[in-house]
Amino acid sequence: MSKKETFFKTINEGYKTKGDYITLGAAMLGEETVTEAFVNIPLKTLNRHGLIAGATGTGKTKTLQVLAENLSEKGIPVLLMDVKGDLSGLAKASPGHPKIDERHEKIGLPFDAKKYPVEILTISEQDGTRLRATVSEFGPVLLSRILDLSETQSGIVAVLFKYCDDNKLPLLDLKDFKKVLQYATQEGKKELETEYGRISTSSTGSILRKIVEIEQQGGDLFFGERSFEVEDLTRIDENGRGLISVLRLTDIQDKPKLFSTFMLQLLAEIYATFPEQGDSGRPELILFIDEAHLIFNEASKALLNQIESIVKLIRSKGIGIYFVTQNPKDVPSDVLSQLGLKIQHALRAFTANDRKAIKLTAENYPDSEYYDTAEVLTQLGIGEALVSCLNEKGIPTPLARTMLRAPMSRMDILSKDELSDLISESKLAKKYNEEIDRESAYEILNGKIDRAHKTEAEEKKKKEAAKTTKRSSGRRSTRMNPILKVVTSATFIRGVLGVLKKIMR
């Protein structure tokens, strides 16, 4: 048996699956694509998370697009973090190209151009269905970790949440929480100290500054109502295809704190909401986080620990998380160790540090008798990648240099008019883009303060009136009646005494 035949057999046996699967492309031996040596990913293992990595321009985004299309075809909903703004084309069919036909002929797969059901989402000022969450939904623990608070400051946040719960003060947006912080150290200081103990003004000041930092990055748009229901991410269209939700984040790269806040809240909400699934054979939802370093670079240790915990636990809910980044080193090692599917595009060796990074990256993949992994990493062309996944038994598959299939949807963005039409047709946009500002902690506490000031003013007015009355009464009592004045005068008294003396004689 020739080397090519042996290789073909190794790939087909290694990537053979009894259950449902998606096909990424065909394996390559050297520079040659081995037709129909398909690299298949079992749906059963897609909740084991994954990584798509590679240098700029090597095809990571198109690989993400291919995965999203194939998942949607299988009825699995997808959420894409579109940081570069080039994923909206999923809503339109590919115009096709001779090079695409040539690629698919080599792979041994037909090319069928088509569009997919797409929902455009946003957490900023961009157009789309707005995602929001209330401060109460974060809870004191998660909010403290996002703000990177000390133990003492976290305790104060917990006390304030308890105070709001006890006094029916809804915490909906950031102005609500800021108002509670101010109230706790000013008008309501005595009230809170009596029930919950002393609250340090310096600590509340530090917390307030952290809130302002998130507010300046756009948190005032994210926190509030109406809260997004994560179940709306798992919709299926009338043709049985999973909805592809594209979250536009093109203006978020300079706001890493807001991005981290959103991602952690979303993962926590999904974990709290979705039921335990066990080994169901297919995921409920797949999340792709593009430019994943934006989450990890600015995250505190507490925040990283929270993310790591959720990544480890959330797969039992049928959720798969896929990180897309330039270098695997962008993802913490504890998270990296949890990733079952790895798709590694080309890396560039321009410096000594680059060569060391390539060597370390190669060590993350199974050994192969067909590849010098470190060498292949620098030779991969656009749309090619090293692939390793878990088979249905949870065993790593053979390493495969893969010619990836082309996206069936448009490999370009929607025009402004196309995007506007897509959003205008959205049922979710009508549901979530309505602005709601119902009475909450801010309005209730302001009303309470106003009433207290009014009562204080009235009491002060009454006291002033009472003092005025008392002074007036005193002045009247000392002003003598004319008759009394005559009767009590010294001349009158001497005269009376003189008359009495004469009578007694």
148-162 pLDDT, tens digit each: 888 999 999 999 999
Question: Do both 260 and 305 map to the same domain?
Answer: yes
Question: Do both 262 and 369 map to the same domain?
Answer: yes
Question: Do both 356 and 241 map to the same domain?
Answer: yes
Does the residue 24 lie in any domain? no
What does the DSSP assignment read for 88-138? GGGGSB----HHHHHHHHHHT---------EEEEESSSSSSEEP-B-HHHH
Does the residue 270 lie in any domain? yes
- Quick count: other Cβ atoms within 10 Å of Cβ 168? 8
Q: Is the pLDDT of residue 336 over 70?
A: yes
Note the helical H segments in 215-369: 220-222, 256-273, 293-296, 301-314, 333-336, 352-362
- 432, 462, 477: which is the final residue of a domain? 432
Q: What is the CATH classification number for the domain harbouring 381?
A: 3.40.50.300
Does the residue 11 lie in any domain? no
Question: Do both 328 and 293 map to the same domain?
Answer: yes
What is the pLDDT averaged over residues 179-207? 87
Q: Is the pLDDT of residue 238 over 70?
A: yes
Does the residue 216 lie in any domain? yes
Q: Is residue 248 a contact partner of residue 87, using CB atoms and an 8 Å limit?
A: no
Give me the sign of the Cα torsion angle 288, 294, 295, 297.
Answer: positive
410 cis-preceded (ω within 30 degrees of 0): no
Q: Which residues pair with 50 in a beta bridge?
A: 322, 341
Q: How far apart (Å, rounded) are the C-alpha atoms in residues 317 and 476?
A: 85
Q: How far apart (Å, rounded) are the C-alpha atoms in residues 475 and 323?
A: 86
Q: What does the pLDDT read at residue 216?
A: 84
Task: List CB contacts of 20: < 8 A, sequence separation 6 or more.
Answer: 42, 43, 44, 74, 281, 282
Q: What does the pLDDT read at residue 313?
A: 87
Does the residue 169 lie in any domain? yes
Question: Do both 180 and 299 map to the same domain?
Answer: no
Give me the sign of the Cα torsion angle 39, 45, 46, 52.
Answer: negative
- Helix axis angle, 201-214 relative to 151-166, nearest 10°? 90
Let me know the angle formed at the C-alpha of 305 by 304 and 309, rounded to the nearest 5 degrees: 115
First to last CA, the chain: 166
Question: Do both 446 and 329 map to the same domain?
Answer: no
pTM over cut 0.85: no
Q: Is the pLDDT of residue 222 over 70?
A: yes
Note the helical H segments in 135-285: 135-147, 151-166, 174-185, 189-196, 201-214, 220-222, 256-273
363-380 pLDDT, tens digit each: 888 889 999 999 999 999
Tell the residue number behind the tokens 């309005």, with chain if given.
Answer: 443
Q: What does the pLDDT read at residue 504?
A: 52
- 403, 432, 461: which is the final residue of a domain? 432
Structurally, how many domains does the chain consist of? 2
Question: Do both 179 and 312 map to the same domain?
Answer: no
Task: List CB contacts of 154: < 8 A, sequence separation 6 or more.
Answer: 140, 141, 144
Tell the residue number behind the tokens 């209330």, with chain if given.
Answer: 134
Question: Do both 282 and 413 map to the same domain?
Answer: yes
Q: How far apart (Å, rounded) are the C-alpha atoms in residues 349 and 358?
A: 8
Q: How far apart (Å, rounded) are the C-alpha atoms in residues 35 and 285?
A: 31
For residue 505, how far is the Cα from the chain centroid?
Answer: 114
Q: How far apart (Å, rounded) are the C-alpha atoms in residues 213 and 461?
A: 43
Q: Is the pLDDT of residue 265 over 60?
A: yes
Q: What does the pLDDT read at residue 505?
A: 54
Q: What does the pLDDT read at residue 498?
A: 59
Which comes out higher in pLDDT, residue 414 or 459? 414
What integer best gives the mean pLDDT of the chain? 85
Q: Which residues pair with 121 in a beta bridge?
A: 129, 247
Question: Do both 400 and 461 map to the same domain?
Answer: no
Does the residue 156 lie in any domain? yes
Question: Do both 276 and 193 map to the same domain?
Answer: no
Q: Is the pLDDT of residue 259 over 60?
A: yes
Does the residue 38 lie in any domain? no
What is the pLDDT averaged over residues 273-292? 86
Q: Is residue 115 a contact partner of residue 92, using CB atoms and an 8 Å limit?
A: yes
Q: What does the pLDDT read at residue 198?
A: 86
- 398, 432, 466: which is the final residue of a domain? 432
Q: How confident is the model at residue 115 (pLDDT cuts 50, 70, 90)?
A: very high
What is the pLDDT averaged over residues 197-202? 86
Does the residue 140 lie in any domain? yes
- Quick count: other Cβ atoms within 10 Å of Cβ 282? 17
Does residue 134 sit in helix, strand or coil? coil
Question: Do both 297 and 413 map to the same domain?
Answer: yes
Strand order in the sheet with 384-388: 32-42, 21-29, 400-404, 384-388, 341-344, 50-53, 319-325, 285-290, 78-82, 244-248, 118-122, 129-130
Residue 220 belongs to domain spanning: 135-224+439-505
Q: What does the pLDDT read at residue 490?
A: 55
Question: Do both 294 and 385 map to the same domain?
Answer: yes
